[in-house]
Structure 1
């Protein structure tokens, strides 16, 4: 059996996800995932440390899509405008969300919905997902602080951005939702801004 085949990691992810959904996360072994993908256990461990990592790979890449948007225009002429106004900070957060939207094209919707159902059915996976998003918020806040945003504003903006992402993601994976991820996220972000303005 060939062990180094193109797309092996993707085959393992897809096989694992299908097994997790039909039999539950705890009811599936690494050997069964590898067999379902037509690969060996040794190949599985070349890509993933354990079966949980199938659902949580590429954390650094996930964060980077947000951080690239937060980096924004670092030109000195715009720096004071950004850090000196709530609107400027929220523009950075929106840019971060727009960058992250590229991770969720239409062809990824069904996979994302299936992954979320598996996570929702398992407390340990839910905890891991919350840690991932909490870490993202902390990292985003750190970047904003490095750009000169005060600590409270940076924390609120970062946490708000992650909240918008979570809400938009939940809407996007709903079976009846026709809009693309970017459109959904933009709508949720605007609702947040309306709520802030009303306050």
Structure 2
């Protein structure tokens, strides 16, 4: 078993997703994940507190990138434009591995109530981070909260379309999240006409 090979964190996530899909979340053990990834159990615990943490790996980074993008948006940007800047910033960190893992993680989450709850908490955390970043920009609380929720939904919709789409295209994630944001913005405008 290799101990100090680079990429242990990524290998652990891949191994976990494969095992969760193959045999279910509940029956998969940390030992199995570590063995599949070619690392020791102690290496697993250096990267993750438990197996639940595997599927929210990167949430802190994603929150940070979203909030940095919002903070760096031009001074005159409206709330949804600032959210769009956050989406672009966060999308820039997503690469081929994220695209490959998207459908596999979705399948693993779909069959586990515990993972569904964890995924919901991840969304709440992302919305809270974006809300705080918008409030810091001077956006009133209710508007900031609504814009943040729209941002989370745009990220999820854009990520799903990107990760489940044609693998032969080399498009990055940002156009997908921005298209989803535009679609949601139009849907919001249509609400006042109903």
Q: TM-score higher than 0.5 here?
A: yes
Gaps of 5+ in 2: none
Alpha-carbon spacing, 1:107–1:15, altered in 2? closer, same or farther (3 Å): closer
Whether the aligned pair in 1 keeps the contact of 2:102 and 2:164 (CA below 8 Å) is no
5-14 or 89-98, which deviates more:
5-14
Alpha-carbon spacing, 1:99–1:73, altered in 2? closer, same or farther (3 Å): closer
Aligned with 2:84 (options 84, 89, 94)? 94
- Describe the superposition over 1:3-42 as per-residue Cα deviations: whole angstroms up to 9, x where unpaired: 2222222222222221111111112111111122222212
- Describe the superposition over 1:66-113 as per-residue Cα deviations: whole angstroms up to 9, x where unpaired: 011110257xxx3xx44xxxxx22210110111111232244312121
Asked if residue 42 in structure 1 is aligned to residue 32 in structure 2, the reply is no
The residue that corresponds to 1:194 in the other structure is 186
Determine helix, strand or coil for the equivalent of 1:25: coil
Aligned-partner Cα distance in 2 for 1:9–1:156: 34
Asked if residue 104 in structure 1 is aligned to residue 94 in structure 2, the reply is yes
Alpha-carbon spacing, 1:38–1:107, altered in 2? closer, same or farther (3 Å): closer
Asked if residue 142 in structure 1 is aligned to residue 150 in structure 2, the reply is no
Whether the aligned pair in 2 keeps the contact of 1:67 and 1:96 (CA below 8 Å) is yes
Asked if residue 169 in structure 1 is aligned to residue 140 in structure 2, the reply is no
What is the TM-score of this pair, normalised by structure 2? 0.87
Aligned-partner Cα distance in 1 for 2:68–2:55: 23
The residue that corresponds to 2:60 in the other structure is 60
Alpha-carbon spacing, 1:188–1:175, altered in 2? closer, same or farther (3 Å): closer
Aligned-partner Cα distance in 1 for 2:125–2:97: 27
Determine helix, strand or coil for the equivalent of 2:164: coil
106-115 or 12-21, which deviates more:
106-115
Gaps of 5+ in 1: 83-87
- TM-superposed CA distance for 1:146, in Å, is 1.9
Alignment of 1:114-133 (within 5 A): 114-133=104-123
Alpha-carbon spacing, 1:114–1:148, altered in 2? closer, same or farther (3 Å): same
Determine helix, strand or coil for the equivalent of 1:103: coil
Aligned-partner Cα distance in 2 for 1:148–1:108: 33
Aligned-partner Cα distance in 1 for 2:165–2:143: 36
Aligned-partner Cα distance in 2 for 1:58–1:50: 14
* Number of residue pairs aligned between Structure 1 and Structure 2: 189
Alignment of 1:152-167 (within 5 A): 152-167=142-157
